[in-house]
Structure 1
Amino acid sequence: MDYLYWAIIIALFIISFIGLIYPIIPSVLFLFAGFILYGVLFSFEPFNWLFWLIQGLFVLLLFGADYIANMIGVKKFGGSKAGIWGSTLGILIGPFVIPVIGILIGPFVGAIIAELIVNKKDFKEAVKIGFGSVVGFISSVFTKGIIQAVMIIYFSVLVL
């Protein structure tokens, strides 16, 4: 039965990584579901206050990495808050409108539309900002992937 329990916990961790590419999937919730499921099925003994504090700090890093990487990507290429918001909406909507590739096209188009409408930027400059939003998104996926891997490694060190 232990194998089944571990398979479920590992599946939750894998889903958390899928959430990096599909932001509608709440990665953090799946990570914590894996931790809590381990506690329920095996034992909460390895999880002291320090474990929860460190994991909580990593969660703050995850949320910060998402916003900061997107902001830096858009701002570095000349964008504004409107571009950041457009990019964020594009990240959420893109995968549903155009499956798979929409995760990259969404923030690109979202930033362009926002900059064209809100800030009246010319098309060439808006496209440059859209490119920056994609760079920011890819950077955030990479950064969050590392943070999530560290969270799982820390969990594994304590329980194995």
Structure 2
Amino acid sequence: MEIFLVMVALLLMILGIVGSFLPVLPGPLTSWAGLLVLHFTEGVELSQTFLIVSLLFAIFIYVLDYIIPAIGTKRFGGSRAGMIGTTLGLIIGLLSPIPFGIIIGPFLGALIGEMMYRNDMDKALKAAFGSFLGFITSTFLKFIVAIVYLGLFIVKLSEHNTTWY
């Protein structure tokens, strides 16, 4: 049973890393689920405080993933309409069946939002670039957290102190 739990935890860790790039899976939360499964194996010590803090951090990163593209839009001179467009574009891109919709959506949403607010293509493109930069930043952040959780998984697994059978 212990080997099965470790394999499930490892699968969740891998899915967490993949989920950092795919919008379908919440990367850090999936990686955290791997840590939770590892907690239930015999001989692996994970404190409740560690699990709660790492869960709160994963939730924080999950929420930031939806906020950072809008912040990027605002930082590059975007208006409220651009930020709303970024958020709507992110949701539409996430749900659309087109390839790279999650990347194209926020960019086009910010561009359309800015063009509706002010008819200035240069400023709209700059805001849309900010949205794209925000998306790349949030993806990188999710990836780093998933890799850190994988590192914690490996460290805790290496401290395993019971037999496997």
TM category, shorter: 0.7 to 0.9
Between the aligned partners of 1:92 and 1:22, the Cα distance in structure 2 is 14
- Answer 1 or 2: which has greater helix percent: 1
Alignment root-mean-square deviation, CA? 2.7
Structure-2 residue corresponding to 1:34? 34
Q: Which has the larger radius of gyration?
A: 2
TM-score normalised per structure 1:
0.78
1:124 — aligned with what? Answer: 122
Spell out the pairing of 1:6-85 with structure 2 (5 A cutoff). 6-40=6-40, 42-43=41-42, 46-63=45-62, 65-67=64-66, 69-85=68-84
92 and 17 in structure 1: CA distance in 2 versus 1, 3 angstrom threshold: farther
Distance 1:99 1:158, change over 3 A: same
Query: CA shift at 1:58, angstroms?
Result: 2.4
Give structure 1 regions of 4+ aligned residues with deviation exceeding 6 angstroms.
none
Higher relative contact order, chain-length normalized (CA < 8 Å, sep 6+) = 2
Deviates more, 1:108-117 or 1:4-13: 4-13
Post-superposition offset of 1:109: 0.4
Which digits, 9 at most, give the CA deviation of each residue in 1:63-106, with x for residues without a partner? 46425532442122111333223223322322543533222211
The structure-2 alpha-carbon separation of the partners of 1:12 and 1:56, relative to structure 1 and needing over 3 Å to count, comes to: closer
Q: Which residue of 1 aligns with 2:87?
A: 88
List runs of 5+ in structure 1 lacking aligned partners: none
SS at match of 2:73: helix
| 3-state DSSP of counterpart to 2:20 | helix
Specify whether residues 121 and 9 from structure 1 end up closer, same or farther in structure 2 by C-alpha distance, changes over 3 A only. farther
Whether the 8 Å contact between 2:76 and 2:126 is mirrored in structure 1 is: yes
Structure 2 unaligned blocks of 5 or more: 159-165
Residue 150 of structure 1: aligned partner: 148
Contact 2:70/2:84 (8 A) holds in 1: no
